[in-house]
């Protein structure tokens, strides 16, 4: 005897598969946004710290060079975060997301990343 109440149609299977792909894409987007926000915070903190030395007239030429380099890196990470905000506006975004290219993570010797952050 067949229990027709347990029948799953092709349309239901396809709808569930689409829902699963959407959930995966949303999770990936959230992870990328979290990484971007953490990098922006990390770089901003160092830029501000170096800025204090520059304003006080105590920064070395190396400090000023690091400041200038990190400002460029900060701009790249902010542009990346902005681009992530547009990923969902593309047609069919969760089927084949057009992820922006993640900028390189700058080395900040005075503020190294923890082992957990390096593995992410």
Report the pLDDT averaged over residues 8-33: 94
Distant-in-sequence, close-in-space partners of 117: CB < 8 Å, separation ≥ 6: 38
* pLDDT for 119: 47
Q: Does 5 map to a domain?
A: no
Q: Does 52 map to a domain?
A: yes
* pLDDT for 8: 84
Predicted confidence (pLDDT) at residue 26 exceeds the cutoff of 60: yes
Q: Does 7 map to a domain?
A: no
- The pLDDT mean for the chain works out to 91
Confidence band, pLDDT 50/70/90 cuts, at residue 44: very high
User: In the chain, pLDDT over 90 holds for what percent of residues?
Assistant: 80
pTM of the predicted protein model: 0.82
Q: Does 4 map to a domain?
A: no
* pLDDT for 87: 96
Q: Does 6 map to a domain?
A: no
* pLDDT for 80: 98
Closest by Cα among 49, 96, 52, 46 to 72: 46
Nearest-angstrom CA–CA distance, 38 and 93? 24
Long-range contacts, stretch 60-66, CB < 8 angstroms, 24+ apart: none
Predicted confidence (pLDDT) at residue 118 exceeds the cutoff of 80: no
Place of tokens 């957990």: 116
Q: Which domain holds residue 19?
A: 12-119
Q: Does 3 map to a domain?
A: no
Nearest-angstrom CA–CA distance, 67 and 110? 12
Q: Does 61 map to a domain?
A: yes
Predicted confidence (pLDDT) at residue 63 exceeds the cutoff of 90: yes
Confidence band, pLDDT 50/70/90 cuts, at residue 4: confident
Number of domains within the chain: 1
Q: Does 2 map to a domain?
A: no
């Amino acid at each position: 005897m067949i229990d027709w109440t347990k029948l799953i149609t092709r349309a239901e299977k396809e709808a569930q598969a689409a829902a699963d792909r959407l959930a995966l894409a949303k999770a990936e987007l959230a992870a990328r946004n979290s990484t971007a926000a953490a990098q922006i915070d990390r770089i901003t903190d160092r830029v501000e710290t170096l800025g204090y030395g520059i304003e006080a007239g105590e920064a070395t030429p190396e400090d000023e060079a690091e400041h200038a380099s990190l400002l460029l890196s900060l701009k790249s990470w902010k542009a990346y975060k902005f681009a992530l905000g547009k990923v969902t506006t593309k047609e069919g975004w969760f089927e084949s997301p057009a992820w922006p290219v993640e900028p390189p993570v700058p080395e900040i010797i005075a503020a190294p990343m923890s082992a957990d952050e390096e593995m992410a």
